Structure formats: C-alpha cells, structure tokens
Amino acid sequence: MGTTQIQDLPEDCLAHIIAFTTPRDACQSMLVSTMFRNSAESDFVWNKFLPYDYRDIISKLVYPIEFSSKRDLFFKLSTPLLIDGGNKTFAIDKFTNKKCYMLSARELSIAWGSHPLYWCWKRLLQSRFLKGVELIMVCSLQILGTINTRMLSTNTTYGAYLVVKLADRAFGLDSLPSEISIEVGNYKSRSKTYLRYSERKKQEFEHIFTQHKTDRSRLRSRSKVCEVEECELCERKDGWLEVELGEFYCDGKDKEVKMSLKEVKGVHLKGGLLVEGIELRPKY
C-alpha cells in the first residue's frame, strides 16, 4: 500500500484539517498551492473561525454589512463595528479569532455622570462613539463597567482597559492614586493608578502611569485577591490612552465581570478626564 501525500487529499478533507488551525495559518496556507488556496478560502474553514453566535451579532450592527463569503465576513468583523444602538463596539481578534468588545461611556456607571455641572457629554475627537464624556469637576471619581462572560470567548484570558484622554486643563487626577479593580465571582484583582502624563514623554506623546502586573497563575482561583505592582503603559495606536484595570479568565460559566476605577479618599477637586469607554480584548 502506497503512502498518501497531503496533496493527494480531497479539498474538503484538507479544509477540515485547516479548520483546526488559526486564521493566520489559513491565510498562509493559501500560498502553498491552488488546492490549498481553494480549501483555505472555503466557507467551511472560516465558519469555524467565526463566533458561534455571529448571526446574532450581525443583527445588532448599527450599520449592516454585506459580505460575499465567510472569509469576507470574518475580516469585516475584525474591524470594530458599532452594535446595540451605538453604545458598544464588537470585533474579532484576527489572530486568535476571539471576541473583543468596547463599552462606551454611556454603558458605564459614572458617579454624578448625569449632572451637567460635573460631567459634559459631547462628541470627542478620534472617538468611535457618537458621544463620550469629559469630567468638568468633582471630588469623588467613580467609574464602573460590567459585562457578562457569556458575551466573551470561552477558555480565554481577557484584559480590561479604561480608554481615556487627559485634557489640557486636567487637574487633580494624580494628587492621589486611583484604585482600579476587576471582580469575577470570587476572584478579585486590585491595583492603583496615577492618571498623569509621563514627564520624559510629555513632549512626544501622552502616557498614563499605572500599577499592574497580574500573576496569571492566580486567575483561576476560586477565592483570591491579587495585589499588583506599578508599570508604565504606552499610548494606543488610535491616539487614546489606556489604563489596564486588570485581567481575568473566562471559563465559559455565567458570571458578571465588574471593572472599576475610583478615587474617593481625597477631598480635592479633579477634572479634565475624557472617557471613551472600557475595552475588553484577549491577552496573548
């Protein structure tokens, strides 16, 4: 009996094999031969890379999209798209095919957020949402976001990031550290952050100093409080800044994720913080 070479396999059989790889592997396999290309481009392969509930996600899009194939749909969904009336964005991470979300400022619970003397809702430059919010002046800063783990990809470690800017008039935000935390079930990660510019990068671009270095081995603990240390984060590619609120492991169970930043110990005034929202994305 002769040995079967991979090029001797039927295209549908090859498609089944490619479907067990990643989107990147599938794209690279297209360069091997015409047969590989036909298999790697098939709807069968790219349907495996799409979220199981992609039809429901498409139905929530603010602006409907057209697509000619499942591969075409995958790459259109890899760019953040507005959903749920424009209050969230959804995207697929093109390298891991995991779900990514951003909750707009409208989706967050912000202390005194509806009071125009303290917060101003307006169109923010470079924002993906219709409106963001700018802190006018408060003593007590509290921002809370929640999301259910059912919306996320299972068996995945996620990071949660508060996406912000500092206005030229920003004041009082770094007088005391803000407390940041993630809670999922009995797991809690706590840290502190100073919302301020980095002096050595001030003339080049904006930075935020944050304290965060989570030990991932603790993420699956049933009952654990993780204290984390300080590190410096860079500016995002979209021109915003982000503070990592923490990370957590999504195990597929039905749980609520609570993400927060607050500074309530100081009695001093603070202002000039622009908030776009909280982004959740897989960590590599």
Can you spell out the DSSP letters for the chain? -PPPPGGGS-HHHHHHHHTTS-HHHHHHHTTT-HHHHHHHTSHHHHHHHS-TTHHHHHHTBSS----SSHHHHHHHHTS-EEEGGGTEEEEE-TTT--EEEEEEGGGSEETTTT-TTTEEEE--TT-SSS-EEEE--BS-EEEEEEEEGGGSPSSEEEEEEEEEEEEEEEESTTSSPEEEEEEETTEEEEEEEE----GGGTTT---EEEE----GGGTT-SSEEEE--EEEEPPPTTS-EEEEEEEEEE-SS--EEEEEEEE-S--S-BEEEEEEEEEEEE--
* pLDDT at site 213: 44
pLDDT grade for 209, boundaries at 50, 70 and 90: very low
Q: Which has more pLDDT, 279 or 210?
A: 279
Position 252 confidence tier, pLDDT thresholds 50, 70, 90: confident
What pLDDT shows up at residue 256?
98
Domains of the chain: 10-75 (no CATH), 82-282 (2.60.120.260)
Average pLDDT over every residue of 30-54: 89
Q: What's residue 208's pLDDT?
A: 41
Predicted TM-score (pTM) of the model is 0.85
Q: What confidence score (pLDDT) does residue 228 get?
A: 52
